[in-house]
């Protein structure tokens, strides 16, 4: 036994990385922060000391790395990082028995993240605002994030001020900030119903900080300017706290890829459409039916479409596609379907498509496991999967954005009834 080692201390060679970016040793031991081919020493308390570093190790650029849970891979070289992240998707497909070609990882970080959720908690009588520590409930207070787009400048200070306005509620808060064309847009969750004093404070802070909009639990407290987002050349105002792709470049790349695949279709169903990031772009050249369970998002899409010129018809429906997927004759109305579900995926809708879907399905996903499951369902229903794109929108995290198309020979059907 080497000098200085006790019986509980051991050296370990790292063979691979797991889905969280942690090193995995030859005996299966998890070594956070370790990289393949490194030799590490595991201390009795679980601390990891790098004894022989990998040539793929680089210096992290953020002072919060290893404490803040947002990033998992700042210590990896660009090559190792791209291989690891692409490999996460490949492994999901292999486990689901989906044979597909996955292209190289595509960087769509662009100018950076345009939305973020901060957490505010009272700790030892003082307020702490920041991001969660990895796999813990502790808040790591932050002053800046190098992954933010320029539009989020001032978001941390503003979130801290808004949290102070609601301190009387004595509750933990989650504060979503979004960079918009009109300025910073905030939605606060956790305080419950606001009294008149809290509302006055939030309004005063919005004026002082020149915020576009402040809402609580989706209810607008003050809107000083419309928090517009450009979906292509159409301007929309998503609902407070509504879904938005994390980066502008990521949204643009997904929309461009989907449009290229859907080019020959006349009528398209955009399922899990949100506020219209794809539908409003596609409506320049196609007739669209847009469906989502979020009534506020559908209303935002309709307002944006009504204010725009030169769009084809967009039929809209508020509908829970998890419980009531489009089926049979409804699907027969379309030459193609585009879907972009939440992380849980689109299992029910995929089964309906497998049974009665059109010749083309374009799938977008932010979760490799649910995407692979849904892909397997479509393939078993007669679709052939094309090349799969892995897009890196959430840089240095394990999250991969996915774009793929599925095709099968058209089957004669009666014209559908939706739209």
The set of catalytic residues is 366
Torsion of CA 339, 340, 342, 347, to 10 degrees: 30
Q: How far apart are the first and last CA of the chain?
A: 74
**What residue has token string 């769009």?**
311
**Which two structure tokens, joined as six digits, stand for 349?**
């809708």
CB-based contact 15:24 (threshold 8 Å): yes
Q: For residue 309, count other CB atoms closer than 10 A to its CB.
A: 5
Question: Would strands 229-231 and 234-236 be described as parallel, antiparallel, or unpaired?
Answer: antiparallel
Our measurement of the distance from residue 274's CA atom to the centroid of its chain's CA atoms, rounded to an integer in Å, reads: 13
Angle between helices 368-380 and 78-95 (to 10 degrees): 40
Nearest partner of 393 among 105, 96, 48, 99, judged by Cα: 105
CA distance 290 to 236: 15
Instruction: Name the phi and psi angles at 74, rounded to 5.
Output: -70, -15
H helices present in 210-268, as ranges: 248-262
Question: Would you call 78 exposed, middle or buried from its count of C-beta atoms within 10 A (0-12, 13-18, 19+)?
Answer: exposed
Angle between helices 155-165 and 196-209 (to 10 degrees): 160
Q: For residue 30, count other CB atoms closer than 10 A to its CB.
A: 15
Could you tell me how many residues make up the chain? 419
Residue 311 CA neighbour count, 13 Å, CB half: 26
Question: Would you call 387 exposed, middle or buried from its count of C-beta atoms within 10 A (0-12, 13-18, 19+)?
Answer: exposed
Helices and strands in the chain, H and E counts: 9, 23
**Which two structure tokens, joined as six digits, stand for 104?**
């190289």
């Amino acid at each position: 036994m080497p000098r200085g080692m006790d019986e509980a201390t051991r050296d370990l060679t790292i063979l691979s990385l797991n889905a969280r970016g942690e090193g995995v040793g030859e005996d299966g031991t998890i070594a956070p922060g370790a990289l393949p081919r490194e030799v590490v020493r595991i201390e009795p308390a679980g601390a990891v000391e790098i004894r022989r570093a990998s040539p793929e190790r680089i210096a992290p650029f953020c002072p919060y790395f290893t404490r803040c849970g947002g990033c998992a891979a700042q210590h990896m070289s660009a090559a190792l990082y791209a291989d690891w992240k692409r490999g996460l998707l490949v492994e999901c497909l292999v486990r689901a028995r989906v044979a597909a070609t996955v292209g190289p990882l595509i960087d769509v970080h662009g100018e950076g993240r345009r939305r973020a959720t901060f957490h505010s908690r009272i700790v030892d009588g003082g307020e702490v605002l920041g991001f969660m520590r990895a796999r813990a409930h502790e808040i790591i207070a932050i002053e800046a994030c190098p992954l933010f787009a320029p539009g989020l400048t001032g978001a941390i200070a503003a979130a801290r001020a808004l949290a102070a306005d609601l301190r009387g509620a004595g509750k933990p808060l989650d504060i979503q900030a979004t960079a918009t064309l009109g300025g910073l847009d905030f939605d606060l969750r956790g305080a419950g119903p606001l009294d008149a004093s809290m509302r006055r404070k939030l309004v005063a802070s919005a004026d002082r900080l020149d915020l576009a909009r402040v809402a609580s639990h989706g209810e607008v407290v003050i809107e000083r300017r419309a928090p517009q987002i450009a979906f292509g050349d159409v301007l929309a105002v998503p609902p407070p706290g509504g879904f938005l792709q994390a980066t502008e470049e990521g949204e643009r790349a997904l929309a461009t890829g989907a449009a290229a695949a859907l080019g020959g279709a006349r009528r398209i169903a955009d399922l899990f459409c949100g506020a219209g990031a794809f539908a409003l772009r596609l409506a320049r050249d196609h007739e669209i039916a847009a469906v989502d369970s979020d009534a506020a998002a559908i209303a935002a899409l309709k307002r944006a479409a009504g204010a725009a010129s030169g769009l084809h018809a967009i039929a809209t429906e508020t509908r829970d596609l998890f419980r009531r997927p489009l089926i049979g004759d409804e699907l027969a109305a379309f030459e193609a379907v585009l879907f972009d579900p939440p992380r849980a995926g689109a299992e029910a809708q995929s089964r309906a498509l497998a049974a009665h879907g059109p010749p083309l399905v374009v799938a977008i996903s932010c979760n490799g496991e649910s995407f692979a499951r849904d892909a397997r369902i479509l393939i078993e229903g007669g679709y052939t999967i094309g090349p799969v794109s892995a897009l890196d929108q959430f840089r240095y995290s394990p999250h991969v954005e996915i774009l793929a198309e599925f095709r099968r020979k058209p089957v004669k059907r009666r014209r559908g009834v939706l739209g």
